[in-house]
Amino acid sequence: MGEIGKLDRAVGAPEPGEVIQLQESNGLVGFVNVSFDADAGGLSDHRPAKVVELERVDAAPHGGHGLQADHPTSYLETIMHIFKGNVGPGMYAMGDAFRNGGLLLSPILTIFLGIISVHSEHILLNCAGKMRRELKLEAMPDFAETVGLCFAHGHVPLRRWSRTLHAAVNFFICVTQLGLCCVYFVFISSNMKQIYDYYGVVFDVHLHMLIILLPTMLPALITNLKYLAWFMTVGNTCMVLGIGITYYYAVQDLPPLVGSRPLVGSWHTLPLFFGTAIFAFEGIALVLPLKNAMRKPRDFSRPLGVLNMGMTVVTLLFTTTGFLGYLKWGDTVQGSLTLNLPEGDLLAQSVKVMISTGILFGYALQFFIAIQIMLPAVRRRFDPHQRHPVRVELLFRVLMVLLTFVIAEGVPNLGAFISLIGALCSTALALIFPPVIELTLLAAPGGALERPVGVVWAKNGLILLIASIGVVTGTYESMQALINSF
């Protein structure tokens, strides 16, 4: 990325021993304590001081997390990327989410969570932009770097947490992405089992997972995102066709709106709704890379920009899918709406094949993001001299695919597993880290925001309260559902 530069002024008023300087060395962004020497009339650098290093992902040439920026994307292309990053098994699980939330309450909560998620994404963009301007960075920092930088330039007691929270964000992203990969195994094998069972070829679902292991692994071994483009194009086409045909089945012979389904879910099932719904809005890690990759980055976050318009479409899709799915199939709705389609209908079978194909090709993209974060540490540990870089990467990829396969083999309940990943990781990424870093910058020496301070604190406090309740109750109820499934 080149030399990032130095912070020429202190964050806030210079205190003895408390001025922070930004530097980069061998791809590591660090913060070195320097002191203000009044007698010398300037800053003096104390090298023995502790350096808080924030590791940069080796995907910088691709715009962060491995997304290519070599060919800038247009407004429409970026909206398609948002669609691709958010629409998957989570959307097809919205029928199960609405069963837990109720026919009336679920649409309201889905739209509400969508608004909060988009607002949190704007917070992340604003904080990343503020760090870039203040530190004169050449490119926008990614999610983890933004969190680390915000804490490194917050109040002095918070600065020691910068490296830890940088690592925590990357950890949650990796768990979310690999959790998605586990869900993909369960999703595809469950749909394939229905088709095979209908034609009398009855295998255990775990054997179906083993059958799809090789075709899932091969695209995941591709080390350059450029060569995944064809797979993603085919996957998107299959997903769009599958969604349209699923809606066709869902609107056939609908029961009456009033009296056929509970309007509000119980207190025990609402946390499961929260986990599944927030899992569906899991694309926050892609926001900064997508903006960086645009031909006109300003078009991303303006009022009628890519983020607002794209996520409006995504939220409407989630709401429509969940509402129609629960209204149509009621308490028999499955963890994926495709499992409710007629087993003997050829068109319904084609939907299951198309959606499974789209999910299969989507595995490689979700897997790629996690690998790009973890691979630098693996290389430093097992191949520090870069003697066998390709061999180490391919072996690591194979092992991680096998890990997601083994975890998926142990998942008895797709809906509960989705809710658990959503409650734990997606909530932290989408609803906890963004308001925390905004408050950190607000409370920093010299920190200021355009909006009234009290409003910002109240707004972020409400988001954090909702997130905390969702994490605790969603994790508990999801674990209970998983345990009861064994």
Tens digits of residue pLDDT in 322-374: 999 999 999 999 888 999 999 889 999 999 999 998 888 888 888 888 898 99
pLDDT (mean) for 199-221: 92
Q: How do residues 447-458 score in pLDDT, each as one tens digit?
A: 655 556 788 889
Residue 210 has pLDDT above 90, yes or no: yes
> Cβ distance 287 to 121 under 8 Å?
yes
Average pLDDT, the chain: 81
Residue 389 has pLDDT above 90, yes or no: no
* Residue 336 backbone zone (phi > 0: left; psi -120 to 50: alpha; other: beta): beta
Q: How do residues 120-146 score in pLDDT, each as one tens digit?
A: 999 999 999 999 998 888 888 989 999
> Cβ distance 363 to 178 under 8 Å?
no
Q: How do residues 263-277 score in pLDDT, each as one tens digit?
A: 998 888 899 899 889
In angstroms, the Cα distances linking 18 to 11, 13, 49, 166 are: 9, 9, 11, 21
Identify the weakest region by mean pLDDT among 14-18, 199-203, 254-258.
14-18
Share of the chain above pLDDT 90, in %: 40
User: How much is the CA Rg of the chain, to the nearest whole Å?
Assistant: 23
Share of the chain above pLDDT 70, in %: 83
> Cβ distance 237 to 382 under 8 Å?
no
How many Å separate Cα 127 from the centre of its chain?
A: 18
In angstroms, the Cα distances linking 123 to 134, 171, 284, 432, 441 are: 16, 20, 11, 11, 11
- Tell me the H-state helices in 67-155: 75-86, 89-92, 94-101, 105-135, 143-152
Element (H, E) at 371: helix 346-382
